[in-house]
Structures are given as structure tokens and as C-alpha cells.
Homo-oligomer: A and B are copies of this chain.
Amino acid sequence: MGVSLPRKELFDVPEGVIYLDGNSLGVLPKGAVERAQKTIAEEWGTQLIKAWNTAGWMALPQVVGDTLAGLLGAPAGSVATGDTLSIKVYQALAAALKMRPDRKVILSDNGNFPSDLYMAEGLIKTLDQGYELRTPAPEDVAEAITEDVAVVMLTQVDYRTGRMHDMSAITKRAHDMGAVMIWDLAHSAGAVPVDLAASGAEFAVGCTYKYLNGGPGAPAFIYVRPDIVEAIEPALSGWLGHDAPFAMELNYRPASATERMRVGTPPILQLSVLQEALKAWDGVDMVDLRAASQRLSELFIAEVEARCPQLTLASPRDPAERGSQVSFAFEHGYAAMQAVIDRGVIGDFRAPDIMRFGFTPLYLDDADVVAAAEIIENVMRDELWRDPKYQVKSRVT
């Protein structure tokens, strides 16, 4: 039995805002400003270079990695932090391809987050060894895993619709066909229970600025299954992934375990704030979180469908097949989302016609969901999205 949810008292959500975009950028944890001040003024300002030791900066990526491991069903030492999710995708993919030298196919799906596909494209071009990226529709992925597939690389929860792959079944299928499995947990970490150890997947990657509330540009993470990590020669073999970075040896020797997936000097300010943000997860039972997430999203769907016949559910109807977000399709979705945002309900828009709403049980309750549905109804019923000011596509996110 975990702490009770929500824990609104741990976050600063602006007055008058119902924030349904924690799947894009989480809200501000109350301790973040103070922590950043401490890191900057006390640690950097007064300890200067010594802070790498005295303030624990050198160990921070690993300490934060271990906290993340705890949230993902992974053992201590199996998760490294730093860089961006795209970089972590590249690392995982490069390492996975080396594990299946006789196969030339990377299998993903056409619902994957584009950056993952772009990183695969870049790696394929860089290697120039005849690799092929296959992207069937998400529902066809399982049967597309054939014996020529080297690596299956999927995002568990679809960034547009919230549709969720069955991690355990697909990993098993990949392994049955002799492929290596990489999971992108961008929309899973802090959103749904994840048991990486039980999944048997070789690699997982993810970001921390969504459901984990690490702040804009918070560091990414990578998990490597402990029994395979010692055989990995990292493609991005930077000094912080060296066994003895300060020995200044001329040749690379990988650090033990997943620490070898670190690359350069860690982003200490971002890591400090992330560490602070992760305190909100102390005592949270992920089964409770999932139950709350499903209750909130079921309520949202019921309220919106009852109020807004103009909107078409674009997420799976079965809550077991969704992550922690709900999307509706609407032809004028961009303008409608601007109108909704203007009235204090913050979701976001994803091309071509998706209005996307995230549910974060750490700081949302039923009353928020009902109030949000009322505002969306208002915008749809009165066609407030027709206002010319909402037609201009000025937003870049």
C-alpha cells in the first residue's frame, strides 16, 4: 500500500490551470528552485571544481540512475543517466546491431516517435552496411518480427494515441525469433508500471521530463540487461564511460555495468533538479498509480464523449491497452486546442488532427478532469475555435 494520490502539495501548479500535458513536460516540483539555488550558489559558487567530489557531482548520474531503476523494475547499477533520449536510442541500437552481426533488419513501427526512427536512419547511413528499417503499422508489429530481424525497437506507449504495446508478449516474440529488444519508455516511465527485469528486454531508454517532472531538457536514461552489459563495446565511448576517466589513458576501457553507457561530462544542474523531482515518487505504489490513471482517463473519456459529439476517440477504448493519456481526433484540432488552452486547460496538439491529454495521478484528481471536460465542451459547443486568433500556427510545440 503506497502513499495516497494525488500529492498536489508537492507541486506548484499555476492557479486556474488544469494541466493535462504532463506527458509532454511535467509540472514544477516544489523543491526544484531551492535545489537549483543550492547547486548553483553553494556547490558551484563556493566549492567550485571541488564540488565534483564534495557535493557528490561525480556520483550523481549513477545515484539518479539507481532511483530510476527502482521505478522501472530494474536492478541497481543497470540504468545510466545523461544525454538526450535520441542519443540513448542510438547507443542502444548500435550495441544491439553488434549482437546480431548476421542480420540486417531493424524493426520498428510507423507510430514510433519520429526521432527514434530518425536516429535509426542516421545510424544506418553511417554504418553503410545494407541495414534496413522496417516500419509496419503498430498492430502488425508482432507478426512482422521474423527471423531476419536483428533488433526490434519500439516505444511502448504511442505518443499520439496512448496505445500500448504488450511489452512482455512482444519481447518474447522478439526473443523467439532471435532478435534483440529495445523499449523506448518515454511515455511509460512514471505513467504505467514497468518491470524491466521481468520483461527480459536487452535495452530500454527513456526521458525524465514528462511524467517524472525533471524539467525542460532533463537528462535521459538507458537500461542494459545486466547479463549482457559486460560484452558491450559502446559506440559512443566517452570518457565518463571509461573505467578510470581521470587516469587519462590513451585507450578506451569500458566502465563496469551500464556506467559504460555514460558519455561526456554530466549536466549537473539538470540532474540535481531531476533528483529533487524524483522525491515525489517516494512511497508511490505503481499499481495504485495505474489504478488512479485509469480512473482519471475513463472519467475523462466518459465526460468528453457525453459532452462533445464532435470529437472522436483516437485512443484505445480498453484502458488496459492505453498508457496514461487520451487523444481525440478533430479536424480543427489545432485551433480547438489553442482555444482550450486559452481557457486554462492545457493539453497539446499532434499533427495531423490529434488533441492530446495526459493524466498524471501525482497532481490530478477527478474534479480536475470534470472541470477540464466542461471547458472542452464549452469550446466545442460554441465553436470557440473558429476565432481567427486560434488559426495561426505560431506554436512550435
A selection of 26 A-B contacts at a CB cut-off of 8 Å is A17-B48, A28-B40, A28-B44, A33-B37, A36-B36, A36-B269, A44-B216, A83-B84, A86-B238, A113-B239, A114-B249, A117-B250, A118-B242, A118-B251, A122-B237, A125-B235, A128-B129, A209-B265, A216-B265, A217-B270, A219-B267, A245-B396, A246-B351, A246-B396, A248-B351, A269-B273
Give the distance in Å from the alpha carbon of A94 to the alpha carbon of B19 in the complex: 42
Residue of A118, A246, A267 most packed against chain B (CB within 10 A): A118
Give the distance in Å from the alpha carbon of A240 to the alpha carbon of B291 in the complex: 35
- How many copies of the chain does the oligomer comprise? 2
Report A390 CB to chain B, min CB distance, Å. Answer: 14
Using Cβ atoms and an 8 Å threshold, which residues of chain B touch A215? 40, 44, 268-269
User: Ordered nearest first, which 6 A-B pairs have the shortest CB separation?
Assistant: A84-B264, A122-B237, A86-B238, A115-B239, A217-B267, A216-B268
B217 & A52 in contact (Cβ 8 Å cutoff): no
Number of interface residues of A (CB under 8 A): 97
Q: Assess whether A247 is interfacial by the CB under 8 Å rule.
A: yes
- Extra A-B contacts (20), CB below 8 Å, given A114-B248, A269-B269: A25-B44, A27-B45, A33-B37, A36-B36, A50-B346, A52-B396, A53-B394, A83-B87, A84-B264, A85-B265, A86-B236, A86-B264, A87-B264, A110-B250, A119-B237, A126-B235, A135-B250, A209-B265, A220-B264, A248-B350
Report A176 CB to chain B, min CB distance, Å. Answer: 28
Which residues of A are interface residues toward B (Cβ below 8 A)?
A: 12, 14, 17, 19, 21, 24-25, 27-28, 32-33, 36-37, 39-41, 44-46, 48-53, 57-58, 82-87, 90, 94, 98, 110, 113-115, 117-119, 121-123, 125-129, 135, 160, 207, 209, 215-220, 233-240, 242, 245-252, 263-271, 273, 341, 346, 348, 350-351, 394-397
